[in-house]
Amino acid sequence: MTSLNPEVIIKTEVDYSHKTRRGIVTLRVSDSGRESLHRLPLPNSVDSELRAQLQAILHALLWGSKLQRSFITVLTPHVDSLKIINRDMPVNEHTAGMFLQIRALLHSFKIAQVKLDPNTAADNQLPAAG
């Protein structure tokens, strides 16, 4: 028996410039055996790498909603954005709005998860600045 609503997997990537405060989100969407690539500009409200990564996750979840899928996995290369979503890192006024939007969208799917992209996980093992 085949699923009428298969899982969609969306891999996020961000190209963000601190200097210009502009960037592009790339979504690699795997849906029913087909892959597509989508490039979306970051909104002007994005003013940090962390917010850019959270925006990428938000874009991915919105894309999954448009596809009307019940099961979604979003892959992110950014450890801190995953920590915020999982509440392993404090949410502050800088990230609260996107955090709430992401959490609401996650609850709109039957099964939704945000995971660290295994292809980039080794690149994220640098110590945190502090």
pLDDT at 89 > cutoff 50: yes
pLDDT at 127 > cutoff 50: no
How high is the pLDDT of residue 94?
A: 85
Q: Are 103 and 91 in contact (CB under 8 A)?
A: no
Rounded Cα gap, residues 5 and 122, in angstroms:
32
User: What secondary structure letter does DSSP report for 55?
Assistant: H
Specify the higher pLDDT residue, 119 or 123: 119
Any idea of the CA torsion for 105, 114, 55, 30, to the nearest 10 degrees?
-90
Specify the higher pLDDT residue, 14 or 32: 14
How high is the pLDDT of residue 4?
A: 58
Span 75-88, average pLDDT = 94
Task: Write down all domains in the chain, each with its CATH number in brackets.
Answer: 8-119 (3.30.420.10)
Which neighbouring-strand residues pair with 31? 8, 34
Question: Could you tell me what percentage of the chain is helix, strand and coil, using 3-state DSSP and rounding each to the nearest 5?
Answer: 30, 30, 40
Percent of all residues in the chain with a pLDDT value above 90, rounded to a whole number:
67
How high is the pLDDT of residue 88?
A: 93
Cα separation values, 109 from 4, 18, 47, 61, 71, Å: 15, 33, 29, 9, 6
Question: Which phi and psi (to 5°) does residue 43 adopt?
Answer: -65, 160
How many CA atoms does the CB half-sphere of 104 hold within 13 Å? 7
pTM, two decimal places: 0.86
